[in-house]
Structure 1
Amino acid sequence: MNSADATKWRFEAIPEDEDGSRLDRFLRRLIPGLGQGQIEKMLRNGLIRIDGAKAKSASRVAVGQTIRLPLSIDTLASAKPAAHAATAKSLATPMMGGAPLQKTFNDMVIGEGKGWIALNKPSGLAVQGGTGTKQHVDGMLAALATRGGERMRLVHRIDKDTSGVLLLAKNLGSARSLTDAFHKHTIEKTYLALCMGLPPEDGAIKQAISKLPGKTGERMVADDDGQSAHTLFRRVDHAGRKLTLMALRPLTGRTHQLRIHMALVGHVICGDGKYGGVDAHPGGMVARQLHLHAWQLKLPDGKLVIAPPPPHMVASLDALGLSMPPKGWRFQDF
């Protein structure tokens, strides 16, 4: 990049948590207030490029690619604040049974530090919008920003049906730092999952996966030519050979990674009908909801954020007589 480029352009690397995202959605998350029409116009004029090449709004971005943007893009994004505020309000309300937005948000907060806030996201609440999805965390953040102060930003994602720790950045600088930490794997994520059968005491799953499009929504399949995916697992407690509470650590951040990996080794996560069919629903006192919870997140400074499991998962564990791991439990403790 020469000095002339530096005065005209801004360059953004695609982080791991945005791998596979549509270009237009990535840009709207990166630059709050940027309109779809503005994105389309800049793409047509070649002002936005992926690795130097022209792109379309529906183009999928990949980790490691570089997006070139005009330096004026932040000014363009702030040109229509009233329209942005109206859109944000429509996305975020009514939320969670019509409760006031700020209270809904505050009730989810489980930790806060310099530059970040951690939520315990409930199962069933999407992180981002999509076709037919009107209520989501990203919409909440946009609406809250219109009430004063800088908008908080997403720095990673978890599935709609997965509960647990969701980290937010308080400002753009923190967002870049935390996104980089996720990309470099200096943030440790530990999930709890109630799985069918009795998996080995510990081990690792290395199986590349790819997305299979379909009318029923996004689905992942094993594909040796797909994106690399690596998961560590450890048994926590089990009810005979029928159901087991597992601790899972994703070392990569692929869509549905934990769900497809456990299904591939024959121990589908309880309630995961997408990958386990009827076998994922044992019946009895075990709820049909997905039993996958983002339990702990360890930040680079050593700070540990812990999210209590959702009621349906607590009820299932109690019914089975299974014990949660102790606070601060880590893979290397065993």
Structure 2
Amino acid sequence: MSATTEKKPRLTTSAMIASIASEGQRVKAAPFGKALVDLAAARPDIVGMTADLAKYTDLHLFAQAYPDRFFQMGMAEQVLVAAAGGMAKEGFVPFATTYAVFGTRRAFDFVHQVIAEENLNVKLCCALPGLTTGYGPSHQACEDLALMRSIPNMMVIDPCDALEIEQAVPAIAAHQGPVYMRLLRGQVPLVLDEYDYQFELGKAKLLRDGKDVLLISSGILTMRALEVAKSLDEIGVGAAVLHVPTLKPLDTQTIVREARREGRLVVVAENHSEIGGLGEAVATALLSEGVAPRFRRIALPDAFLDAGALPTLHDRYGISSAAITSSVKGWLD
């Protein structure tokens, strides 16, 4: 290096661990890992297992607290799932973590045959669900809910924020049978505490009411829906938000009851492909009950998505707060 050459700092990407929190938004660190550590103190049957991703699913906190109950299976998701099934057969309650693309796409047959067919008590908790990473199709799990909803015996959970993850961990541990839960890791937004929220398996919750629009959502799109509702308030549009954290079994009764109210546009918003997710589940439920409101969907396209920065991608694919607000306004005109 010459004397006149400056050494520039190395540029790195944060696409894999980028937070979904907006600037200045309240967050809690590692809610899943901390909740599992707390629960395991009174539950010696709980074990933690991962496919070389403890740090990136917050399971490293469990490994530090209970090293004798932590199992690192390496980069072998099929082995992870099969071993978790074996643990469940021996009376343990395994919480198995990896990225959602690997736990669902790569290990699908093992989840289907080893865990679900025998109705084993395995909790599969998978990070980077939907469009929560900018690493492109290899890491964007845009089909995970469709895959897991299609498996008999499988309960499917899509939590919104840190509070819900904290509440969901003991709830799914108490449930007897296999569970797939989407996992938010790292600095996770905190929003539901403002709504006196309590997670219940299989229950949808009306977070706020409104006379003009009903936003039905799950996961991080509930956070966005709440932001959209506040924006619509400013122009005199009343927007209700119905949060649906359990996609299977679906709380059809609550969804139908809210969609039956006359005069409201019903919009389903999800961080998932338009194929096989919450939108199709809600549409089927309404059609089956003979309910036909004005109905629209916000979802990721049936396509391989781009790589890039998350804010840019969320705008591009219509799931940012601004994009959703614009879509809803257009449908109301």
Q: TM (normalized to structure 2)? A: 0.30
Structure having the larger proportion of residues in strand: 1
Q: TM (normalized to structure 1)? A: 0.30
Q: Which has the higher contact order (CA 8 A, sep 6+)?
A: 2
